[in-house]
Amino acid sequence: MNFFINETMHAQKSGIEHAELKRFNLFNEHGADCRIVIRNWDPELHDNTRQAGIPDAQLISMFDYFQQAQEVKARRITLADLDFGVADTNAKREPAKNRALVMAGNQLVARVNFWPDQHRVHSTELFDAFGNLYLVEQYDSRGFVSLQQWYTPDNQIGMETWLTPAGQPVLESFNRDDRQGERQKSGWRLTDRNGQVWQFATIEALTQHFLDDLNADFWDEARPNVFVLDRSHLAEWGITRLKRPAYTVLYLHNAHTANAQDPADPVLNNNYEFALNDLDAFDAVVSATTKQAQAVATRFHPRAANFAIAVGIVPDQQLGAKRVPVADRQFGKIIAFARIAWEKHLDDLVRAVAIVHQEFPQVTLDLYGYADPTDNYQARRQVEQVIQAKHLEQVVTLKGYTQDIDQIENSAMMFGVTSRMEGFNLAVMEAIAHGLIAFSYDVNYGPNEIVEDGVNGQVVPYGDYQALAAAMLKVLRDPGLAQRYSTGAYESAKRYSSAAVWAQWQKLLADAQAHWPAKLVAARYQQPGEAKS
């Protein structure tokens, strides 16, 4: 079995989730059995995964697994279905707050919060006779109480209990104040399906137990289970300490150093720091580009097999779609699909557009993506400040998150990338697949490999937005050049066809199979059947 490990699957997905879904579909297309594995508890998980095309049968959430809730028939729980054990209650709706107050005379019994449809119950907050909140019950979107949060007299969560759909408590976590007075998790207790009770000091230890169970559930003497870790902080500790053999893969979705422009920078990307320092505990490390795979080999000399496998895939349908000539596109329309975040540095793209707009007033820029809330949405505020300073209110538009990519990219002309760091950049790959002319900083890793200078666009020195503007102006002044770049974009996208990317994955899967018999006696593993600690 092939397992792809992530924290959750939000409705608004980051590049890692999009990459994981493309891989999931690729494996399904080629008949390679796989599962999306989710570590974090999320009451909306199944709504989001179904919308993303992941059937429940191919989804394994750690909390669902322990709660015996992997496949549950959805129920619609409304206010009328609730019983608070108090006589003569009445409910007062508060539509503006999407909730209802349940009263017994003048006594507040409960607050009932609803999902956005304002009918299904999302959670209930229960109060004692003195008006103190003592219990919050969180509902899974499929219609059962999934999590109970028990409050202490100081209005802090003291204990959390996860339930089966039948209401049986199976997993508990305990919270205590540390020496600084901060409330922290102090332990976990699991009652498994056999009634055995387990205690864990950390969620990392609980995660290892979960991964061990998965490895045992899908054990096959003939072939290894392959665990691909897409977010290393979730399970690096557990995945490298499995009790049974497995083929473990660290996937680098971003630059491995804090300064992406220096592959030898001593400060590692904090998302990968522990995994990279424990790299020899993995069986393989995968980078999304050849340049990064070479940099990893040069710096870390890993014992693990080292692969370059693109995270992006251009569907055959797109590769065969009718090409849109530049003359039929909106002249001067520049777009970018990216989170409005510090690392995307979109304020530099706006600065470049300001220069271009001086010569070509018809030029516009549309930014698609949700804003990162870090530091009170600082990245978005920086973009807005440049827009105001350059008087571009009618030129640059923040469009927000969208999935309507085809229509947008078939009508635009150019695509801009001004990131500080990347791991691949699905957006620029999708842009060239739609014939957009790409302009990018020479940034590690991805854009400076996907964008082929003089073929499908232009790569300019890192951080030089004036050079970026000059490259755009050169294309806008020369319709023939613009068409050559657009044609080159369509052609260069073939590197990321389903067949090409699957061939890269086949090399990794072949390596896993080739090393499988030897791993059965690997000294760093316990033998199957040994007692779990």
**pLDDT at position 522:** 53
User: Same domain, yes or no, for 253 and 337?
Assistant: no
Residue 294: HSE in the Cβ half-sphere, 13 Å Cα cutoff: 5
User: Same domain, yes or no, for 476 and 384?
Assistant: yes
User: Same domain, yes or no, for 263 and 294?
Assistant: yes
Report the C-alpha dihedral over residues 472, 474, 475, 481, rounded to 10 degrees. Answer: -150
Please, are residues 468 and 459 in contact by the beta-carbon 8 Å criterion?
Answer: no
**pLDDT at position 12:** 83
Neighbours of 2 (CB within 10 A): 22
Q: Is residue 518 part of a domain?
A: no
Q: Which CATH number belongs to the domain containing residue 111 in this structure?
A: 3.90.930
Calpha distance 443→464 (Å, rounded):
11
- Residue type present at position 114: F
Neighbours of 483 (CB within 10 A): 16
What does the pLDDT look like over 278-318, one tens digit per residue? 999 999 999 999 999 999 999 999 999 999 999 999 999 99
Phi, psi of 520 (to 5 degrees): -60, -25
User: Same domain, yes or no, for 359 and 264?
Assistant: no
Phi-psi label, residue 434: left if phi above 0, alpha if psi -120 to 50, beta otherwise: alpha
Q: Is residue 253 part of a domain?
A: yes
User: Same domain, yes or no, for 209 and 302?
Assistant: yes
**pLDDT at position 118:** 82
What does the pLDDT look like over 158-206, one tens digit per residue? 999 999 999 999 999 999 888 888 888 899 999 999 999 999 999 999 9
Range of the domain at 353: 317-496
Q: Return the bridge partners of 408, or none.
A: none
User: Same domain, yes or no, for 103 and 114?
Assistant: yes
Please, are residues 225 and 246 in contact by the beta-carbon 8 Å criterion?
Answer: yes
Task: Please give the angle made by the CA atoms of 340, 401 and 47, to the nearest 5 degrees.
Answer: 125
**pLDDT at position 321:** 96
Calpha distance 197→468 (Å, rounded):
61
Both tokens of residue 304?
């693990």
Predicted TM-score (pTM) of the model is 0.88
Calpha distance 229→231 (Å, rounded):
6
Both tokens of residue 34?
């796989």
**pLDDT at position 450:** 96
The last residue of one of the domains, among 308, 337, 368, is 308
User: Same domain, yes or no, for 363 and 464?
Assistant: yes
Which residue, among 105, 143, 152, has the nearest Cα to 123 in the 3D structure?
A: 143
Phi, psi of 61 (to 5 degrees): -95, 135
**pLDDT at position 530:** 43
Calpha distance 48→59 (Å, rounded):
12
User: Same domain, yes or no, for 152 and 212?
Assistant: no
**pLDDT at position 148:** 98
User: Same domain, yes or no, for 197 and 209?
Assistant: no
Per-residue b/e over 54-92, b at no fewer than 16 CB within 10 Å?
A: bebeebbbbbbbbbebeebeeeebebeebeeeeeebeee
The last residue of one of the domains, among 149, 183, 202, is 202
User: Same domain, yes or no, for 373 and 269?
Assistant: no
**Is omega for the bond preceding 272 within 30 degrees of 0, making it cis?**
no
Please, are residues 262 and 443 in contact by the beta-carbon 8 Å criterion?
Answer: no
**pLDDT at position 13:** 84
**pLDDT at position 182:** 86
Per-residue b/e over 324-362, b at no fewer than 16 CB within 10 Å?
A: bebeebeebbbbbbbbbbbbbbbbbbbbbbbbbbeeeee
Residues 6+ positions from 491 with CB-CB distance below 8 Å: 456
User: Same domain, yes or no, for 53 and 102?
Assistant: no
The last residue of one of the domains, among 247, 274, 308, is 308
Number of domains in the chain: 3
User: Same domain, yes or no, for 225 and 194?
Assistant: no
Calpha distance 456→319 (Å, rounded):
15
**pLDDT at position 125:** 98
Q: Which CATH number belongs to the domain containing residue 37 in this structure?
A: 3.40.50.2000
Q: Is residue 516 part of a domain?
A: no
Neighbours of 109 (CB within 10 A): 22
Residues 6+ positions from 348 with CB-CB distance below 8 Å: 418, 441, 463, 465, 468
Q: Is residue 167 part of a domain?
A: yes
DSSP 73: -
Residues of the chain with pLDDT under 70: 518-533
Q: Is residue 185 part of a domain?
A: yes
- Residue type present at position 294: Q
**Is omega for the bond preceding 496 within 30 degrees of 0, making it cis?**
no
Q: Is residue 501 part of a domain?
A: no
Calpha distance 453→491 (Å, rounded):
14
**pLDDT at position 181:** 83
Neighbours of 289 (CB within 10 A): 24
Q: Is residue 529 part of a domain?
A: no
